[in-house]
Amino acid sequence: MNPAIPDYKQVALVEANSKPLGVQLVSSRKVNKASAATDLVALAQCVQKADEFTKANCGSKLTIIADQIRYLQEQARKVLEDAKRNASLHHAACNLVKRPGTMYYLYERDSGQGYLSIVSPEEWGASCPHEFLGAYRLEYDQSWTPIMETDKRDAENQVIDKIYSAQQAITAGATTQEILGLKPGFKQPGGAQRLEVLFTADTTSSSRDSDKDPQS
């Protein structure tokens, strides 16, 4: 069958009733509205177009769900890998009380034992006695962050702290300008600029404070 030609057999018409509400009609043909011969084709075209839109919408939604499933699978894989790494580092030999926020360096002895130290390979220099495996920072939630990912983790924590502080200020009844640290009369930006101001207001203030001489 040519897909360009609609199949009128798919059109479902309302059944005729010669006794509506139990009243016998003299002639149901005269009561019903007379339709042109092309109306059936037009109805078939509407049904065909609706089927095409239904399939397209269903396909696009299934594609989104498939992408979400792949994303969740990737997240689950990362969670398991992080858990395995965290457990391995927590069980590594260490003669020090591990404190959050401290960078620890993982070494491996010739015997195969891994241990944590606060002495970096740079501090050891050429006299480093064992093989260096990596550097990790202990977080306050007892997770470990590789040294290459600490900047990313710090940026995420700053965003979270900013959102939490804003929520606390809203709960306390502070105004939007007070939350963002803006001067009175400041015109609020819109859209993405508002989010940029929200997340960078404290960063800018901290940068300016750091430029000042602490002894002045």
Q: Return per-residue pLDDT of the chain as tens, 216 residues.
A: 555 555 555 556 556 666 666 666 555 555 555 555 566 667 777 877 888 888 888 988 999 999 999 999 999 999 999 999 999 999 999 999 999 999 999 999 999 999 999 999 999 998 888 999 999 999 999 999 999 999 999 999 899 888 888 877 777 666 665 656 655 555 555 544 544 544 455 555 545 554 554 443
Q: What is the pTM of this model?
A: 0.53
The type of residue at 18 is S
Secondary structure class of 25 (helix, strand, coil) = coil
The token pair at 130 is: 């064992």
Q: What's the order of all strands across the beta sheet hosting 114-117?
A: 114-117, 103-108, 131-138, 144-146
